Amino acid sequence: MALITPLACRLAETTGKLILKVGTRTAKIYRKNVIEELFNCGFGFNREFATLFEDYPMCIAGVDEHGEIRVIELRDHPFFIATQYQPERSALGAKHPLIAAFACAVSEFATVARTSSTFLT
């Protein structure tokens, strides 16, 4: 049985409401718990594996209105957020909070890397 499976109904050019889990990095970035995003995907997480994300470093950060997993994140990573939507598509002509947060994380990592004598050794 696969973790990622084809969706019963492809999400093509579809805007959907997502409920973000309180306390996750994703919810903190958006500064709210309900968002709308643009989907264009044909695959999703197999719900039978949802319990794997309850007690591990990788957690479910957001679901759609039907409880389908749409966002996961790795708790202890500087920035690992995987989405079923495409934030770059929603950001056309506007600053998207997830993309801005990623850019900040990259900048912070680069600063630490430049100042650390043990980086990549």
CATH number for the domain that contains residue 80 = 3.40.50.880
* Domain count within the chain: 1
- What is the model's pLDDT at position 73? 93
Say which residues have a Cβ less than 8 Å from residue 4's Cβ, sequence separation at least 6.
43, 44, 45, 46
pTM: 0.82
| pLDDT tier for residue 32 given thresholds of 50, 70 and 90 | very high
**Domain-embedded: residue 106:** yes
Beta strands in the chain (DSSP E): 4-20, 34-45, 58-64, 69-74, 81-83
Instruction: Write phi, then psi, for 20 (nearest 5 degrees).
Output: -90, 140
**Domain-embedded: residue 46:** yes
- Specify the length of the chain in residues: 121
In terms of residue numbers, what domain contains 42? 4-115
- What is the model's pLDDT at position 19? 97
**Domain-embedded: residue 19:** yes
**Domain-embedded: residue 42:** yes
Q: Which residue has the higher pLDDT, 113 or 9?
A: 113
**Domain-embedded: residue 74:** yes
- What is the model's pLDDT at position 31? 96
**Domain-embedded: residue 121:** no
- What is the model's pLDDT at position 44? 81
**Domain-embedded: residue 18:** yes
In whole angstroms, give the CA distance from residue 93 to residue 88: 10
Judged against a pLDDT cut of 70, whether residue 45 lies above it is answered with yes
**Domain-embedded: residue 120:** no
